[in-house]
Amino acid sequence: MSRYRGPRFKKIRRLGTLPGLTTKKPRARKDLRNPLRPGKKSQYRIRLEEKQKLRFHYGLTEQQLLKYVHIAGKAKGSTGQVLLQLLEMRLDNILFRLGMASTMPQARQLVNHRHILVNGGIVDIPSYRCKPRDIITVRNKQKSKSLVQNYLDSSSREELPKHLSLHPFQYKGSVNQILDSKCVGLKINELLVVEYYSRQT
């Protein structure tokens, strides 16, 4: 299954706020053609929606997310917490969290177009896994700096999570430590995601 490129507001209306997908907010509207059905959601649907939140927020294909679940399952510690740490330490997500990109698609584009360096070397793989003490900088080119400056200017300037530091005038960010899963920028029940995949096998 390929990465989602359809209507973003449709996903937000169904799943709730997905900051990695878009910065825009859908207008409130009353849709008489598709009224919400009364009654409780099934347990399957609840788990599915949590999985979809994770997938669309981080901009992953189904196969990519499944791969991360398998890796997390083989690691020490809680599978759900390890899964979130793996996703949060991706280079595209680090750029998004630093405010160097407004959305995950923008962050991936920066990386794919070779605007970003990690520890002084160009990295063009959005899924690159960052580690503590990694230094992320913008390439010393006017186009690269202009792109990132636009994103920094338009970012909401929310308080950075403790595992990251930003030096905006130097176009530089750093990874201080492994993420505490409590600092994930998405309201998610990761255990339901793990349960979803455990019932698929």
- pLDDT attached to residue 2: 47
Strands in 164-167's sheet, in edge-to-edge order, are 121-122, 116-118, 135-138, 172-175, 164-167
Residue 67: give its domain's CATH number: 1.10.1050.10
Helix H or strand E encompassing 74: helix 62-74
Residue 53 forms part of a structural domain: yes
Q: Residue 120, by phi and psi: left (phi above 0), alpha (psi -120 to 50) or beta?
A: left
38-90 pLDDT tens trace: 557 788 888 988 898 888 888 899 999 999 999 999 998 899 999 999 999 99
Beta bridge partners of 164: 175
Positive or negative CA dihedral for 111, 18, 188, 195? negative
Residue 169: give its domain's CATH number: 3.10.290.10
Q: Are residues 114 and 140 in the same domain?
A: yes
Residues 6+ apart with CB under 8 A from 40: none
| pTM as predicted | 0.80
In one-letter notation, the amino acid at residue 139 is R
151-179 pLDDT tens trace: 888 876 567 888 999 999 999 999 999 88
Domain housing 13: 8-25+41-86+186-198
